Structure 1
Amino acid sequence: MSAPCVLIVDDEPDIRELVEITLARMGLRTDAAATLAEARERLARRQFDVCITDMRLPDGNGISLITEIQQRTPHTPVAVITAYGNAEAAVESLKAGAFDFVSKPVDVAVLRKLVDTALKLRGPRHDRDMATEVLLGEHESIRQLRLLIERLARSQAPVHITGESGTGKELVARLIHERGPRAGNPFVAVNCGAVPNELMESEFFGHLKGSFTGAHRDKAGLFQAAEGGTLFLDEVAELPMHMQVKLLRALQERRVRPVGAEAEIPVNVRVISATHRDLAALVQAGHFRQDLFYRLDVIAVRTPPLRERPGDIPLLARHLLERIAARAGIAIAPTLDRAALEELQRYPFPGNVRELENILERAMTLCDGRSIRAVDLQLRMPATIGGSAGDLKRQKEDLERQAIREALQKTRYNKTRAAQLLGMSFRSLRYRIKKLGLDQE
């Protein structure tokens, strides 16, 4: 097989030469163009494995080239060279479908990693069915979500996942990672609401021995732990303002400075974030930085709540019961009788798929071992389904109060464990307890 070939499009001879020399040392073949017209002529003659283009060209811009290549050969990754500090251009290129970007002056080490990752996308992947988990469901929203995951896996663009607690945001992030070129490298997940404020900088960026009291040895941070892979920032809305500033810099510069270090170190990490809260509303309220939101929310993904797809409940319930049985060492999982299944499909599931799993786990301990009846589910249904918006809000709050009470009782009022059980951060649980008046009980 011949070496992969990369098309370089830039009107600056020095940059073209730097990129060509770097790629030649990687054993790659190159072809170069100084204008959009020349690039089109090269693309008409042959197919390239990767394209690297400047954002600004004498007769057009890199966005046009991204669009044309996506239409002609959608599996060809396109990376964009942007001016230093021009975050808007970088985000615009990623939204247009660019694989990734590199800033001027071009860092050779960053360029090599970018091209190496891009080359892993060539041709069909044969290990896509080796993902440890799957996104189950036949509802149209889930079908579309699976297609979107496949597209996002071929990009390095930051992804922001929104959705209620328990809808599978981390599963979506993990699937994007597992089906992309970073699959062989770490997937590191962190709940931003669970990290104490005073330890946040050390947890994210690492620290050197002696940099503060208790720092008895050097420690790598989450960015370093995810090197070459994906860092999943769950409940990113919980980040305090001082960490939002530091995270923004890490995303822009692709470098981090460990606590106590004098120099920054480069990191090659794809960031995927998630929250059940409305980040745009938090930006408007002044609680979340607009520039960080702009960098995180390049591509938005929504995980649908379970109540929007009741037809998927039989499939999900069967899968979850088999998983629970396997964990418990039970050879044959019990089945749901008709009445139990109908009751599940009527239930609004404020805790979504995670709540469904908890309900089934409890039902397995109460059933006769072969079949789960409606009474085994112990569901507390709302008094009425219809009603005004105010009635619906009160019903939802009542369900939420009951779910929090049960989680607190189950964990003997350990709020940290109760928050984990409910799929929310400790801060969010504390806020909901106060708002729903549970602290007065």
Structure 2
Amino acid sequence: MEALFERIQCVAPTESSVYINGETGTGKELLANAIHQLSPRKDGPFIALNCANLTDDLAESQLFGHTKGSFTGATKDQPGFLSQADKGTLFLDEVVDLSPRVQSKLLRALQEQTFQPLGSTQSQTFDTRVISAAATPLRQAVAEGQFREDLFYRLNVIPLKLPPLRERHHDKPLLFRHFLSHYSAQQRKPREWLLSQALTDWINSYPWPGNIRELQNVCAFVSSCIPAHQLSIDKTMLPEDILMGDQRIAANRQASIGCRRPADITRDELLAVLQRNNGNKAQTARQLGISRMTLYRLLQQMEIDTEMTA
């Protein structure tokens, strides 16, 4: 983490694009915001867009904006995030989930520093630094055919790796105390607590599959439940599902992001699910238990015309 912070200090003042690789809950958006705050663009806007599970039309509308009447429900002109983040920073989380069509349009916009909102023939210029992130290393996504190589070179100028909490051995107790103090202050309770040895040992040994987001959740729970007059905290005060070692939470989390082997999906099954969803690829991917990029690869391999299935 010290090496990561030193690198941030070096790259923040530049205009180079940054790609952050890290598991869900490790704080990628916080890291992107820190880069923004340390940059010459700190007085400009910082805008974040989560690209996961966006349809093509919605992704284009969010990025580039749209004009009134450009599609059903477009009742007024709406600027996109690229223009809203002008003179500032746009953070694209889970950027690997963008479809090939949207990737192509984003590449052209970044190359030319111009774009056209949906439904418009007028080009708009923008001055926006792009920081992107995902749980997948971008080079791996390119090798697997999920991401355009030319867009990779645009976004992956400065790669940063944010380690999971389980690897940050010295940070875990410090972060636990920090967030416990933060939530206790919100509730007007003592900000300094005595942690039992059993609790400290658990903090160090627990794998924290939800990373910092899970740690925050545990601290919020403990600070809410502990009586204001009590000054020490023991392991018995942790949430019940953690104390019982409930593995269902981890299993559900894995299922929600998709864990099915693409090789197990037949062409007939894919066609049936795609047709049942009227060609909606995001919904199809969720029901099949795979990522959108994996779905696009299967569609290409199986030579399925998505226009005919819609």
Q: Tell me if TM exceeds 0.5.
A: yes
Q: Does 1:266 align with 2:122?
A: no
Q: State the match for 2:98 in structure 1.
A: 239
SS in 1 for 2:78: coil
Amino acid in the other structure paired with 2:104: V
Q: Aligned residue for 1:391?
A: none
CA spacing shift, 1:211–1:434, aligned 2, 3 Å: closer
Matching of residue 167 in structure 1 with residue 48 in structure 2 = no
Is the aligned partner of 1:400 residue 2:250?
Answer: yes
Q: Aligned in 2, Cα 1:380/1:434: closer, same or farther, shift over 3 Å?
A: farther
CA distance in 2 between partners of 1:327 and 1:220 (Å) = 36
1:403 to 1:193, Cα distance in 2 relative to 1, 3 A: closer
More deviation, 290-299/374-383: 374-383
Query: Contact 1:382–1:399 at 8 Å: present in 2 too?
Result: no
Picking from 130, 137, 149, the partner of 1:290 is: 149
- Residues 111-150 of structure 1 aligned to structure 2 (within 5 Å): 142-150=1-9
Residue of structure 1 equivalent to 2:233: 372
1:157 is displaced (CA, Å) by 0.6
Which residue of 1, 12, 37 corresponds with 1:178? 37
Which residue in 2 is equivalent to 1:125? none
What is the deviation of 1:326?
Answer: 3.1
Contact conserved, 1:174 with 1:187, CA < 8 A, in 2?
Answer: yes
- Please point out which of 319, 325, 331 is paired with 2:178: 319
- Tell me how large the CA RMSD over aligned residues is: 2.7
Superposed displacement of residue 293, structure 1: 1.2
Match of 1:351 among 206, 210, 215: 210
Deviation at 1:213, TM superposition (A): 2.0
Which residue is 1:6 aligned to?
A: none
User: How big is each residue's C-alpha offset from its partner over 1:256-294, in whole Å with a ceiling of 9 and x where there is no partner?
Assistant: 111111121110000000001132222222121111112
Report the Cα distance in structure 2 between the residues aligned to 1:168 and 1:376, rounded to whole angstroms. 26
2:195 pairs with one of 336, 360, 375: 336
Question: What SS does structure 2 have at the residue aligned with 1:193?
Answer: coil
The 2-side partners of 1:278 and 1:343 are apart by 30
1:311-366: CA deviation from partner (whole Å, max 9, x where unpaired): 11221111101221233343546443221111110111111111111122223344
SS at match of 1:310: coil
**C-alpha separation in 2, matches of 1:273 and 1:188:** 12
Per the alignment, do residues 327 and 151 of structure 1 end up closer, same or farther by CA in structure 2, a change over 3 Å counting? same
Q: Does the 8 Å contact 2:184/2:224 carry over to 1?
A: no
Task: Check the 8 A contact 2:52/2:95 in 1, yes or no.
Answer: yes
| 1:215 CA drift (Å) | 1.5
Counterpart in the other structure of 2:56: 197
Gaps of 5+ in 2: 256-281, 291-310
**Alignment match of 2:89 (pick from 221, 224, 230):** 230
Q: Give, as a single letter, the amino acid of the residue that structure 2 aligns with 1:164.
A: E
Closer, same or farther in 2 for the Cα pair 1:240/1:161, shift >3 Å? Answer: same
Give the direction of change, closer, same or farther, for the CA distance of 1:380–1:248 in structure 2 (3 Å limit).
farther
Residue 306 in structure 1 maps to residue 174 in structure 2: no
Q: Distance in 1 between matches of 2:287 and 2:39?
A: 37
**Deviations 1:365-420 (CA, angstroms, capped at 9, x unpaired):** 4434433211222435879xxxxxxxxxxxxx877216579xxxxxxxxxxxxxxx
TM-score if structure 1 supplies the norm length?
A: 0.54
Equivalent residue of 1:145, what SS? Answer: helix
CA distance in 1, matches of 2:161, 2:8: 11
Whose relative contact order is higher, 1 or 2, with alpha carbons under 8 Å and at least 6 apart?
Answer: 2
Mapped to 1, the partners of 2:203 and 2:286 lie a distance apart of 29
* Residues 53-95 of structure 1: CA deviation (Å, up to 9, x unaligned): xxxxxxxxxxxxxxxxxxxxxxxxxxxxxxxxxxxxxxxxxxx
Contact 2:56/2:101, CA 8 A, preserved across alignment: no
Identity over aligned pairs, percent: 41
Number of paired residues? 260
Q: Provide the C-alpha distance between the structure 1 equivalents of 2:157 and 2:172, rounded to a whole number of angstroms.
A: 32
Give the distance between the partners of 2:288 and 2:216, measured in 1 at CA: 23
